[in-house]
Amino acid sequence: MEANATPRDRAASHDLADIRAQFPILEREVNGRPLVYLDSAASAQQPQRVIDRIERYCREQHANVHRGAHALSVEATEAFEGARQLVAGHVGVSDPAEIVFTRGTTESVNLVAASWGAANVGAGDEIVLTKMEHHSNIVPWQLLARRTGAVLRYVDVTPDGRLDLDDYARLLGPRTRLVGVTHVSNGLGTINPVVEITELAHDAGALVLVDGAQAAPHLMVDTHAIGCDFYAFSGHKMCGPTGIGALWARRELLEGMEPYQGGGEMISEVTLEGSKWAEIPHKFEAGTPNIAGAVGFGEAVAFLSDVGHDRLAAHEDEIIAYALERLSAVPGVTLYGPRENRTSVFSFTLGDIHPHDLSTILDQGGIAIRAGHHCNQPLMDHMGVSATARASFYLYNTRAEVDALIDGLGMAARVFGGVSSTE
């Protein structure tokens, strides 16, 4: 802590130390150096209480859900359904039946494309996506378009990394059935104006699916305030385990949709001639679900809620401002994405050093970043690069870790004999 730190700075630093202490992985070393984990946009770390909750479930409560009349099955079902309620609350939803547990954002989008899409999208109908979508909000729609003859249209991205809303307005038309948009770009950090986007889509008679994978961990999300129709997100980006996520949709939409997969759990009656479906959300949860994952996901959102949105947001603002200041001052760094209305995910290149080389050098110093196309190939094509380096921060990251990243970039520039700016 700097010598001229104010009492407020000291309180914030104590607070951060308290949060970091809850994440055991942050104590480990990588390549002989303290771990600096700057890859939370790919997968965030889990606090001890999430690890403990999953362990307690496995050790004391494990049984299949919704099936047995025995005590363990009842307890497991309560834990599973309790988690659904917690996850619902995290996105401002009061009816837990509107939350379908999925494997994550990818499966949530596939569910909507396969179920709602098959029933509502035909030849010549249009689906409007954006050039900054993650592959999981593009490929399921391409599959649907191949099956149905629907047409995909993509909203342009401005040079400063925002959606071109004039282009969006132009693309909407009488054939638009659905707009799919990411709430926060995983490649640029841009926070998209999803309320305005939803209003325009609804005026055109289209539904809206918001990909919340990078928003639910950072922003106060209220699906009703957004007004959208579907909201998809993943547990592992918000301090929960992998293999679990959720789809939110309005009750009447879910009730009107056909099941995504068939099997056990999702039926109320099966005869050799046909079947009747279970009530929502079970209609969309065929087979034994990821019970331990759901329980861990519930604990993760309870953890985030205990930390509190104000604390999360204040920390995020501080890290964004500091990282922007320091990264922008590094000779040869090209930073992608907007300066404002963004989250703490920073894509950049350093001169002509390949992002994979950059990430290897940083890894030698214990610094974990991601390098590549980040499942954003159309966005990369649009920006004219094949890959970027990406540092992403979360509630446990410190200013000292921003400094470590900057020092690591200095080291990489020296190893590669200086950098020539690509700008």
Find the binder of ligand C6P among 370, 396, 409, 416 (CB under 6 A). 370
Q: Which stretch binds ligand C6P (CB under 6 A): 69-77, 104-112, 289-297, 348-356?
A: 104-112
Size of the site for ligand C6P (CB under 6 A): 17
- The conformation of residue 58, written as its DSSP 8-state character, comes to I
AA letter at 267: I
Which residues in 282-301 contact ligand C6P (CB under 6 A)?
A: none
Find the binder of ligand C6P among 104, 259, 332, 337 (CB under 6 A). 104
Task: Give the phi and the psi of residue 23 in degrees, each rounded to 5.
Answer: -110, 95
Q: Which is nearer to ligand C6P, 110 or 176 (CB)?
A: 110
Find the binder of ligand C6P among 98, 211, 265, 316 (CB under 6 A). 211
Q: Which is nearer to ligand C6P, 46 or 61 (CB)?
A: 46
Q: Which stretch binds ligand C6P (CB under 6 A): 16-24, 139-147, 280-288, 370-378?
A: 370-378
Residue among 58, 228, 239, 375 flagged as catalytic: 375
Distance separating alpha carbons of residues 314 and 392, to the nearest angstrom: 16
Taking CB under 6 A as the rule, does residue 379 contact ligand C6P? no
Which residues in 134-173 contact ligand C6P (CB under 6 A)?
A: 134, 136
Taking CB under 6 A as the rule, does residue 182 contact ligand C6P? yes
Question: Does the active-site annotation cover 239?
Answer: no
Taking CB under 6 A as the rule, does residue 45 contact ligand C6P? no
CA angle 110, 114, 115 (to 5 degrees): 115
For residue 319, give both structure tokens: 């890290």
Find the binder of ligand C6P among 190, 223, 234, 347 (CB under 6 A). 234
Taking CB under 6 A as the rule, does residue 118 contact ligand C6P? no
DSSP helix/strand/coil, 168: helix
Distance separating alpha carbons of residues 150 and 143, to the nearest angstrom: 10
CA angle 229, 90, 324 (to 5 degrees): 95
AA letter at 18: D
How near is the Cβ of 56 to ligand C6P at its closest, in Å? 25
Q: Which of 328, 404, 393 is nearest to 38 (CA)?
A: 393
Taking CB under 6 A as the rule, does residue 42 contact ligand C6P? yes
Full DSSP string of 223-283: HHHHT-SEEEEEGGGTTS-SS-EEEEE-HHHHHHSPPSS-STTSEEEE-SS-EEEPSTTGG
Taking CB under 6 A as the rule, does residue 41 contact ligand C6P? yes
Helix H or strand E segment including 401: helix 399-415
Maximal C-alpha separation, the chain: 77
Which residue numbers are catalytic? 375
Binding positions for ligand C6P, rule: CB under 6 A: 41-42, 104-106, 134, 136, 182, 186, 211, 213-214, 234, 245, 370, 374-375
